[in-house]
Amino acid sequence: MAKGKASRAPRVWLMTDPRIDAVLLASARALPFGSAIILRHYDLPQAERRALFARLRRIARQRGHSLFLAGDERTARRWGADGFHGRTKSRTNLRHSTAVHNRRELALAHRLGADTVLISPVHRTASHSAARPLGPMAFRDLAMLATQGADVVALGGMNSARVQMMRALPVIGWAAIGALAKS
């Protein structure tokens, strides 16, 4: 855990994706209190992305959620995010998450000062259909290594039933796109 940062990650994380735009705001409202949302939407023009961020921030404040902005820490801080999601060095006490797919990326996440690593893909997933899933053993191995410096969130083909099967692992929470999309 990086010095001066929150020590526990939220349990449920919603990753935004244009495929769920029609239900994104409703999905954010339906999350359990105290969840996290990572606004990705990299391809939106900046003004539209910032407007979407502002709408999500209102919901996040009402529901006790943490709102992370995918990208750089400076923009996340300027926009009023609770954290940033990306592979850049953490320079302040703003919460920092990053995706991890292998040991090399895990080592990088530790060097960058990430508080939370989203280990992915645990299972086959629609958003990265060509990616080979880690499977339970490789996921467990990465999760065990990750806990030496960061909280672990499972990502990729996750749903509430699969989370129950991971209770013995050092996993703080789970993240999804489709499984958390609500109309």
Residue 136 has pLDDT above 50, yes or no: yes
At residue 147, the pLDDT reads 83
Between 47 and 90, the more confident residue is 47
User: What is the pairing mode between strands 95-100 and 12-15?
Assistant: unpaired
**Degrees (nearest 5) of the Cα angle 46, 47, 48?**
90
Q: Where are the alpha helices (DSSP H) in the chain?
A: 24-30, 46-63, 73-79, 103-112, 135-146, 160-164
Contact 115, 2 (CB under 8 A): yes
Inform me whether the pLDDT recorded for 1 exceeds 70. no
pLDDT (tens digit per residue) in 100-129: 999 999 999 999 999 999 999 988 877 766
Q: Give pLDDT, residue 75.
A: 96
What is the pLDDT at residue 6? 45
Domain ranges of the chain: 12-180
- Using DSSP's 3-state secondary structure scheme, residue 82 falls into coil
Contact 182, 26 (CB under 8 A): yes
For domain 12-180, give the CATH number: 3.20.20.70
What would the pLDDT profile of 21-63 be if each residue is shown by its tens digit? Answer: 999 999 999 999 999 999 999 999 999 999 999 999 999 999 9
Percent of the chain with pLDDT over 90: 70
Say what the pLDDT of residue 4 is: 45
Whether residue 71 is predicted with pLDDT greater than 50 in this model: the reply is yes
**Position 79 confidence tier, pLDDT thresholds 50, 70, 90:** very high
pLDDT for residue 168 is more than 50: yes
Positive/negative CA dihedral, 149, 9, 126, 85: negative
